Amino acid sequence: MFSELFDKLYCIDNISNKSQFVENWGSISFAGTYNSQNKSYFEDVNSELAKLDIQSSIHFFIENIQKSFQDFIDELQDDDNWKLTINKNVLLNKEQACNFFYDEQKIIDWIKQTNPFKDDYPFNNKKIRIVVNGLIDNFGGNNFIVCNPDYELSDFTVEVWNNYDETLIMDNIHIISNSTFIIQPQNHFMTFGKITDLSKYFYRNSLLILLASLSNEIYENGDVILRGYRRIPMKLGLDYIGNEISTEYQTQLSDAVKWVYQSTERCDLRLKLLLERITLDVDYSLPYIQGLFSIIKEATNQAKERYSFIIYDRKDLYQKELKDLLKDLKNLSDLYSNKIRSLLGNLLRDVLAAFILVGITLFSKISEITKLFENNLIRYVFFAFGIYFIFSAVFQSVIDFFDINRSSKEFDYWKNISREYMSIKDFNLHKSKTLTKRAIETSIIYVIVILCYVAIAILCFKFPFMWNIIIN
């Protein structure tokens, strides 16, 4: 779609002052001295941009004074200093973002200075096609394609990494930065294209992101910390360009990253095992991008072997820890059951004691019952019973709540500090499937028993009035 535009810009370039030519990611600018024979060149460029539906991107100047296109054409005189600029952001803001570079050297100059960790790095935010005039070898990745005008533009082909969870990277790496710092390997991974003078900088950025994923700490200035058998500070190599940059190196690093950050496995253990191997062999006098080149493949293979051995050995230990956990969960569940039984037993005991006390001591003298009601003694007795039931329910509830709450916290504390072979996720899963359901059921029954206490207390308060109604 840019072939014709590049042809028109070539004509403008031929009549411009080469020293005033400027091109970067966001704009391109030509300037020169006008000759009336060149009038059609400006009309052609403006017309071509209109065909591409980006006519608003071009601006014309005469003696540094901006003009509309028609005024520019009408007012321009021989020997006037003219300037033409194209705002590429108009293309970048389209639904299907794209960009172009007229001069291949300018895109090299731009990509050299980029930092793939920054939020404003183009491929961290959207998928972009970049058309480069005169480019021979096309290349690209999941989020970008760099191609010549003859390349048949099609939808982006995303390479899927099975079971890979990119969100785990930010959970396991400590980032020290004053601004947004992004580590997303798939945004920069090169899926096709060979190493050229241009593509090697894109490959470098992909390698930097992958390397950052295989560290413990990373700083905004490019320093990284590796914690294995020893703590090693290194330079990441943000500006490094060397023979190590290759498709094979990217493949080896991506294999390590995909293995470490699997959603179905413990990535913290895998990262630790890999870095233990790396810290033993890496030459920390070199940048990380250079020092890891010769050892990453072997380090990954050894880490995989150690992980398999550890996981095999951990199965028995995991089963033992699971057995202990379920035993402790049963004991804690029994505590809930005991609290219900205790509360219900106390209720029945209190009711029985009240019946015995009233039946034996007060109603044993049938002839004096009327006198007891007349002097309000029965009223006082039953009022005292009601107060007793209320206080009994409140005190038992408070004590049981603190007892269960404290027992649950102590259980979590001891299990958290003693758990070595079970993840927090597994621990919480087993706890929720057993203890949580027991706690809900216990709470419902507990509330019912407490309501019985309250109902009996209310009955005690109302009994003297009910007795009078019955007698009358």
Q: What is the pLDDT of residues 248-262, one digit of tens each?
A: 999 999 999 999 999
Who contacts 358 (Cβ-Cβ below 8 Å, separation ≥6)? Answer: 381
In angstroms, the CA 145 to CA 458 distance is 80
What pLDDT is recorded for position 384? 79
Q: Which two tokens stand for residue 457?
A: 């207390």
Q: Which two tokens stand for residue 255?
A: 């294999």
- Rounded alpha-carbon distances, angstroms, from residue 10 to 6, 44, 45, 62, 103: 6, 11, 10, 20, 10
How does pLDDT run across 418-460, given as a tens digit for each residue? 555 566 677 777 777 777 777 787 788 878 888 888 888 888 7
* Residue spans per domain, the chain: 3-92, 98-294, 317-471
What pLDDT is recorded for position 38? 84
What pLDDT is recorded for position 155? 63
In angstroms, the CA 85 to CA 456 distance is 90
- The neighbour count for residue 254, using CB atoms within 10 Å, is 21
In angstroms, the CA 458 to CA 306 distance is 69
Residues of the chain with pLDDT under 70: 153-156, 312-319, 322, 325, 355-378, 407, 410-411, 413-424, 464, 467-472
Q: Which two tokens stand for residue 388?
A: 């007793």
DSSP code for 122: G
What pLDDT is recorded for position 201? 96
Q: Are 354 and 385 in contact (CB under 8 A)?
A: yes
CA angle 70-76-79, nearest 5°? 160
- Rounded alpha-carbon distances, angstroms, from residue 50 to 29, 43, 53, 461: 18, 11, 5, 92
What pLDDT is recorded for position 264? 77
CA angle 18-20-21, nearest 5°? 70
What pLDDT is recorded for position 180? 92
**DSSP conformation letters of 73-97:** HHH--TT-EEEEEEETHHHHTSSS-
Task: Report residue 448: phi and psi, to 5°.
Answer: -65, -45
Nearest residue to 88 via CA among 144, 10, 25, 22: 25
Residue 3, phi-psi category: left (phi > 0), alpha (psi -120 to 50), beta (remainder): alpha
